[in-house]
Chain A
């Protein structure tokens, strides 16, 4: 940190222009979309374990559909953020296995493939005539319910490392001390539960009250623990000079102060109380509001946490 005595005060008097934010909003969107993509599978699995399929009539096709849409958004923005997008193929042709980017890209691709198969089967079984009459793809999937059930445990298992690998990328980004905290791994997991529960709440209008209560429970737990972890990192990172310098950007007067606290209140505190209240008395509209707020707040929190370590000068 800057010196407080005159004799050691140091000021840069000539230097070059330094890079600003390198990973910007596209990476925020990428992480946010992946949280939804894997979260709906994890929360969907929990619901299927707790309830009968009839209580959640559209879950069998809606769950892979949501995962498919948001995983494609995630992969699209992964690709568009590359300065040489066509060379993405090098990850498959020349993989470097110490890199979490490589391992993640392989796992996410396999995950998307399995999700696509589940989507075809789910739509084939539940929505005959979609996307059009005589579609050979969904016709193939119509009688493959057994395959869906066989694939599902693998998909749920794979959803965990696909959720977590971004935390490993952040851990490998050793220049950014804020991301080196072990809490990042659990933060990714809570984000997936939060995003998955929120996305499923938005399509749960014809589900049983009990199923919706479970969604509210997952949302309440995920927002609570995620908020607690953010607060833990916020206060305990003071022990290192770099951590403190990074968090200065979210402290009072810092450029990301408003976005951070807006995200915390909007995405964590308010949805927590609505979700807890909803476990007592079912209110679909309020729960939907909580879900939307949680998704918006999660994006803001992720955006701040991604950008602030990049504002520090490294050299």
Chain B
């Protein structure tokens, strides 16, 4: 058995239901994502179209993250899922350097590497991944790619010639496929990222990898401190001075 994913980008409408379901199901902390939907505008006004691309771990058959992990925190399950054992992770970030898809993040609460596991815990109980269940248009198709009769295998066969993976030149052999994608949507170098012009905010890069309050000294002291001091601290005392200054100006 080898589990795989296929996203039909022709069906995806960018509702971000999968993104939210993943966050809730896996308790993914703020500032990090196991699954995200990227909006890309193609063409020049007025002849433009918007495409939506869900991005998650590709669970590669030849996973660079698994190879570089020094302690096997990233490991294969029998069903082909690349799983993470956060209790073993040393936080070297080697996997983040190795993953060509930028799918791994440093969890700011545990300060260990984490990523999409195809909801391995749900699959173990016979359920589908949360993102599959929630998708209103069934754009996410999940199943056994070694079984010719599975829904995903049938879908791949029906769309022969139009099934793509991201960065095939990296030879990672992803088990995550796309239908209806193009260079502009799947290749990060094929679209411009105009810094500061996102729809909802102008934060383009994360301030820190992991918890921004987890300084070198804190890393060594953490086991001797109470949990309260560290739990969610990054998000409680966030810098809100821009908002405050806007309010002050508004009052005037």
The residues of A with any CB-CB pair to B shorter than 8 Å are 1-3, 6-20, 22-23, 80-88, 90-91, 94-96, 98-102, 105, 169, 172-176, 241-242, 245, 310, 312-315
Give every chain B residue within 8 A of A88 (Cβ-Cβ). Answer: 90
Whether B70 contacts A245 by the Cβ 8 Å rule is: no
> In chain B between 27 and 77, which residues have their CB closer than 8 angstroms to a CB of chain A?
31, 33, 36, 38-44, 47, 50, 55, 64, 67-72
Q: Does B139 contact A (CB under 8 A)?
A: no
Whether B70 contacts A105 by the Cβ 8 Å rule is: yes
Nearest residue, chain A, Cβ from B31: A17
Q: A82-B92, A94-B88, A169-B68 are in contact. Are A13 and B199 (CB under 8 A)?
A: yes
Q: In the bound complex, what is the Cα–Cα distance between A235 and B82 (angstroms)? A: 37
Interface centre among A20, A105, A241 (most CB of B within 10 A): A20
Name the one of B98, B112, B194 contacting A12, with C-beta atoms under 8 angstroms.
B194
Q: A13-B199, A83-B210, A174-B100 are in contact. List 5 more A-B contacts (CB 8 A).
A: A10-B40, A10-B192, A11-B40, A13-B197, A99-B94
Whether B204 contacts A173 by the Cβ 8 Å rule is: no
Q: Does B81 contact A (CB under 8 A)?
A: no
Nearest residue, chain A, Cβ from B111: A83
Give every chain A residue within 8 A of B36 (Cβ-Cβ). Answer: 15-16
Whether B93 contacts A14 by the Cβ 8 Å rule is: no
Whether A83 contacts B214 by the Cβ 8 Å rule is: yes
Give every chain A residue within 8 A of B69 (Cβ-Cβ). Answer: 96, 99
Name the one of B47, B91, B97, B190 contacting A87, with C-beta atoms under 8 angstroms.
B91
B198 shortest CB reach to chain A, Å: 6
Whether B72 contacts A96 by the Cβ 8 Å rule is: yes
| Total contacting residues, chain B, CB less than 8 A | 66
Q: In the bound complex, what is the Cα–Cα distance between A202 and B111 (angstroms)? A: 41
* A/B interface sample: 20 pairs, CB < 8 A: A1-B189, A8-B184, A10-B185, A12-B191, A13-B40, A13-B50, A17-B204, A19-B206, A20-B205, A80-B216, A82-B91, A83-B106, A90-B70, A94-B88, A99-B70, A101-B68, A169-B94, A313-B102, A313-B193, A315-B55
Q: In the bound complex, what is the Cα–Cα distance between A8 and B43 (angstroms)? A: 5
Q: Does B172 contact A (CB under 8 A)?
A: yes
Q: In the bound complex, what is the Cα–Cα distance between A278 and B140 (angstroms)? A: 68
Closest 7 CB pairs of A and B: A83-B91, A314-B102, A10-B191, A10-B184, A14-B39, A6-B44, A101-B70
Whether A315 contacts B206 by the Cβ 8 Å rule is: no
Give every chain B residue within 8 A of A99 (Cβ-Cβ). Answer: 67-70, 94
Q: In the bound complex, what is the Cα–Cα distance between A91 and B94 (angstroms)? A: 13
Whether A82 contacts B219 by the Cβ 8 Å rule is: yes
Give every chain B residue within 8 A of A82 (Cβ-Cβ). Answer: 90-92, 219
Give every chain B residue within 8 A of A100 (Cβ-Cβ). Answer: 68
A107 shortest CB reach to chain B, Å: 13
Nearest residue, chain A, Cβ from B39: A14
Whether B93 contacts A23 by the Cβ 8 Å rule is: yes
